[in-house]
Chains A and B, each alone.
Chain A
Amino acid sequence: MTSTTSKAAAAPAALNDETILSVRDLRTHFYTRDGVVRAVDGVTFDLARGETLCIVGESGCGKSVTALSILGLIPPKAGKIVGGSIRFDGTELTTESESTMRRIRGNRISMIFQEPMTSLNPVLTVGEQISESLRIHQRLDRRAAWDRAIEMLALVRIADPKRRAGEYPHQLSGGMRQRVMIAMALACNPQVLVADEPTTALDVTIQAQILNLMLELKDRLGTAIILITHDLGVVAETAQRVIVMYAGRMVEEAPVAELLSHPKHPYTRGLIGSIPRRKPGAPRGRTRGRLQEISGLVPSLREAIPGCAFAPRCGFATARCTTEQPPFEAHGPRHYAACWEVARVEAKSLSEPVGSEA
């Protein structure tokens, strides 16, 4: 397998004081009865202190596995990190022991999951759950940890935190549970917060509350956030920088406004085009017209993909695309894309379809 990681080469000494997390050519494989699944197949990025980075892609693109790999939460029998490195604040996480990982996890890197109900323990009160991690990681005594838990609940704007701390998860609404998860994740002042689809299970009005809360707390506490989502709307509202993933690989990376206005990879274009939305400036109301489709299916990750993973669905694909993997390289300031045909893609207007029938 030839793998080009020219981004690592193009931006070699990006590591500076500002970088808190640095992922290089990460590869995570899962072993199933039918063979090896290359869930993450060469992911490289840096995260600066206090930055919000969004990883976006459709189901099965490897975005969640990337998050689990960073936290060392890949189930040991089912899969493992087979290559690359994850450096967190000077420590290499891929070779770290489980006990060290346990000290880092929930303390210096924490995670919020999509479904708060399943990640909260139903038989412990929320106050106990928040104070537990404080007692383990910060060595606070029972009293201090409990006080801090109530403080955290107030910080995530749960009304009447003293009473709520004594309640069980099932007594809270979905939005409140997610606030508790955030309180738990931020209790130890982590440097990195990984949020995997934190608002997908919530209603829009609650989603708006939670996203605003996360960004506000980020500004206040200086936590860097990796936000994993499938929703480009959430990306547009929260991210500073965006990575687009497809079939376990990165296809594009750019600052958010740049990515949404000048996407360079056909997949990103298709993703943006397939969202039902008004053209800027158009009157509101039934947009009608056809949405852009990306025809075809996501490729099986069980087989090695020699060229560009998107080639079979791409209207710009050439013979080279199916045989040679395009390098992930700069096509503008801080704008990277893995595509051989960027020039041709850019020449087309945004509204033109990217499907292979085009």
Chain B
Amino acid sequence: MSSAEVVLRVRDLKKHFPVHRGVLSRVVAHVQAVDGVSFEIRRGETLCLVGESGCGKSTVARSITRLEEPTAGSIELNGVDITALGSEALRAQRREMQMVFQDPYSSLNPRLSAGDIVGEPLTNFALAQGAELERRIAALFEHVGLRPEAVHKYPHEFSGGQRQRLGIARALAVNPSLIIADEPVSALDVSVQAQVLNLLIDLQEQFELAYLFVSHDLAVVEHIGHRVAVMYLGRIVELADNADLFGAPLHPYTEALLAAAPSLETGARRERIILQGDVPSPMNPPSGCRFHTRCPFALPECKQTDPPLLEVAPGHHVACLRRPVGGDGAPLTTA
């Protein structure tokens, strides 16, 4: 896996939103939605971004596709730096990078037929027209498990799961190397969610797609991710292979997230770390380690020192002062 070529390389990505106040709408502060995020995704690989609402995971996805203009950092798609490309050059690069959205209802234009929606990317890049266009749309419908006759239907005639299949077919139309999926199953019922996850996995194997999969649902992430990055307040706090992250999480926040996620194990209420309090405002993030205000294991120096994301074990990156390089990974104790 690690020998495959890098499809997406993100370096030190930042996105700060200005906050306007007053009559003259002066900029009074910045929301540091994403504050220095770096990672790579290789061909055929799924990298999951996981975190609570407001952690910046969706902003990362939107900045990479430049639906939001990044404040700083660089984004390389198949070796091409797209961070500062002009609109036409960027448009050409979009062929390699397609998006699947969260809401299968509002992400499809209600006035267009299903066939027109799926065929739009093909028309945009002048890849097919006439009978060839129709043939390719029909093929795409089959790939995502929709009946080709459905091309003439309108979005409201489909169920939520079928609509999400349409969204996936649209993303797949131009044979991209990367698909960015922003919470693609969180609006769906569990049984439908399973259908869509299965489809995404099948398509990845078939087309060697790279996925950036944004989700808040740890069970989904554990199911679909090869590597997982946990975000907290605009930063990646832990990045590791799926088995390492779920089997031996090193960051206290990751541990707390895993403990909080409900599982199907019943019986005695599980012993768990329940984080107290809420996520602090990204407008005014805590000093030092951003997690120290809620961390049960915080040391006094956590308030001052901002821990860098270090590779403490092969492929396992953590940003925590209590997890030095070459550490033993033993459970932390409260100081």
Please list the residues of chain A having a beta carbon within 8 angstroms of any beta carbon in chain B: 58-59, 173, 175-176, 203-209, 211-212, 215, 230-234, 236-237, 256-257, 260, 270-278, 280, 283-288, 290-295, 297
- Flag if B198 contacts A236 (CB, 8 Å): no
Minimum CB–CB distance from A118 to chain B (whole Å) comes to: 17
A286 near B159: Cβ-Cβ < 8 Å: no
Which of B13-21, B89-97, B267-275 sits within the interface? B267-275
User: Is B332 an interface position by the 8 A CB rule?
Assistant: no
List the A side residues contacting B278 at CB < 8 Å: 173, 175-176, 206
Contact A276 B220 (CB under 8 A): yes
Closest chain B residue, CB of each to CB of A257: B266
CB-CB < 8 A to A278: which residues of B? Answer: 222
List 10 A-B pairs, minimum CB-CB distance, nearest first: A285-B243, A233-B262, A276-B223, A274-B194, A291-B194, A203-B52, A208-B260, A284-B246, A58-B189, A284-B247
B109 near A: Cβ within 8 Å? no
Q: Which bucket holds chain B's interface residue count?
A: 35 or more
Which B residues from 197 to 242 make CB contacts under 8 A with A?
197-198, 201, 216, 218-220, 222-226, 241-242
Q: Decide: A286 near B226, CB < 8 A? Known: A204-B52, A230-B190, A293-B195.
A: yes
Pairwise interchain contact A208-B272, C-beta atoms closer than 8 A? yes
Known: A205-B52, A291-B198. A232 touches B269 (CB 8 A): no
Complex Cα distance, B161 from A274, in Å, reads: 14
Answer whether residue B29 sits at the interface, using C-beta atoms and an 8 A cutoff: no
A256 to B198, CA, bound (A): 28
CB distance from A228 to the nearest CB of B (A): 14
A-chain residues with CB within 8 Å of residue B246 when the two chains form the complex: 284-285
Report the minimum CB–CB distance from B222 to chain A (whole Å): 6
Which one of B159, B195, B201, B260 contacts A205 once the chains associate, using CB atoms below 8 Å?
B260
Interface centre among B197, B218, B262 (most CB of A within 10 A): B262
**B198 contacts A290, C-beta separation under 8 Å:** yes
Rounded to whole angstroms, the CA-CA distance of A203 and B263 in the bound complex is: 15
A211 to B276, CA, bound (A): 13
CA distance A204 to B260 in the complex (A): 6
Are A205 and B264 interface neighbours, CB within 8 A? Answer: no
CB distance from A193 to the nearest CB of B (A): 19
Given the known interface contacts A205-B257, A209-B274, A285-B243, the answer about A271 and B264 at a Cβ–Cβ threshold of 8 Å is: no
B225 touches A236 (CB 8 A): no
